[in-house]
Amino acid sequence: MDQIVVTEDPARFTNVRPAYRDLAALITTDTGMPPRDGHTLSILPDAPQKFDVLLEDLRGAKESIYIEHYRIRLDSIGTIVTGILKEKAEAGVDVRTIVDLGANIKEDRKELMELRNYGIESYLYYRPQFLRDYVWPANGAHRDHRKIVLIDGQTGYLGGRNIQDRYLDWRDCDIRISGPAVADLGEVFMDAQRQVAPQLPGLKITAETVCQAVADTVPGLEQFREKTVQIIPESPGDTLFPVRNCFEWAINNAKNYFFFYNPYTPPPASTLNALKEASSRGVDVRWIVPGNNDVKQAKWMGESLYKDLLQAGVKIYEWQGNVLHTKQFMSDDYLTAIGSANMDNMSFFLNMEVLALVYDEEIAVSTRTLFENEMTDRCLQISLEEVRGWNFLRTFRNWFTRTFFGRMG
């Protein structure tokens, strides 16, 4: 990791365990967003449940709906969502959407822009980069990879799922937040809005609204109350790289375990070294990776990492069946991170991303238990002997793909 200057005083973060106050100070220095108390949270690994709750929240909106999403596909779920947005906008609700230009097909982009006819402020995010767009596109342009929904200044969603039918079948994870961090998510949304529509006014999110939904009860939804959350945004203009710093601090300071789901690679060398060093000092490091990746090159780049990580003692498990798209880590029964950021160079250095970092034992234990159950029931463990037995063509393919298409790897 590069030299980092921390200007925040760790001692002031009394809502965080002492051993983790340096992390809270680091992220606050990087982003200006400290950890905040008093949240009601729900972890949403089940896609049908996530969309059911989200649709219910959208239908109940009275003041505002703000959506910043990498992709809104106008299939079944996307059509339902945009139908609700039209109804709400016509009823006087402040509705704004921002989607990534490159991630959405032409037909959907056209229809999303036509939402303006219903009073919806709808925009496409794009920051053209000549070399990345035209000369070496495999390295990727700056993209808005966030998945944020904010409702009435009270409830926020973020995570890995796009608004698209296929995510109903994929393994992914989102988090629903009520509490002060919703205002921070509003600032993250404003970061994108300033770039695509600087003429628009501020959001209808205030200190009063963010606390109004903390005591809400959603039937059938597990809700964790009085939790501490820190929002971690990433933008292409950042020079401090807060998402990378969060991942690497957690790995470097893990004492017992660091478990993570991650579908896309490669991360920078500093992150790989952190994983290997953590394992060598006795930390139980485990990675659940897709066995069936929606991007073949990502699968091959992931395989190119296996040998070094396995030799260092990292345990690797390939998810079987549907696509695994989850971006999440948990460590030492205290830290849990859920968001849009993969552990790769695109998320660490190029994309607009956002994470929720939760400082809490109850949630960490809950997510760890699910990880261990899925590791046993849904995955196949990869052995070093198996990797050493791969034929030359497979090994060369993996190396070649990572070397020439590794997105700054």
What are the tens digits of pLDDT across the range 203-215?
Answer: 999 999 999 999 9
Mean pLDDT of 174-185: 98
Say which range, 70-74, 236-240, 254-258, has the weakest mean pLDDT. Answer: 236-240
**Domain locations in the chain as residue ranges:** 10-405
**pLDDT of amino acid 129:** 62
What are the tens digits of pLDDT across the range 300-320?
Answer: 999 999 999 999 999 999 999
Q: How confident is the model at residue 42 (pLDDT cuts 50, 70, 90)?
A: very high
Q: Is 269 left (phi over 0), alpha (psi -120 to 50) or beta?
A: alpha
Q: Give pTM, 2 decimals.
A: 0.95
The residue ranges of DSSP E strands in 70-113, in sequence order, are 94-100
Tell me whether strands 36-44 and 174-178 are parallel, antiparallel or unpaired: antiparallel
Q: How confident is the model at residue 132 (pLDDT cuts 50, 70, 90)?
A: low
Q: How is domain 10-405 classified at the architecture level of CATH?
A: 2-Layer Sandwich (3.30)
Q: How confident is the model at residue 277 (pLDDT cuts 50, 70, 90)?
A: very high
Integer angstrom CA distances of residue 44 from 16, 144, 293: 24, 22, 21
Mean pLDDT of 131-153: 73
Q: Which residue shows structure tokens 């579908």?
A: 263
Residues 46/24, Cβ–Cβ less than 8 Å: no
**pLDDT of amino acid 350:** 86
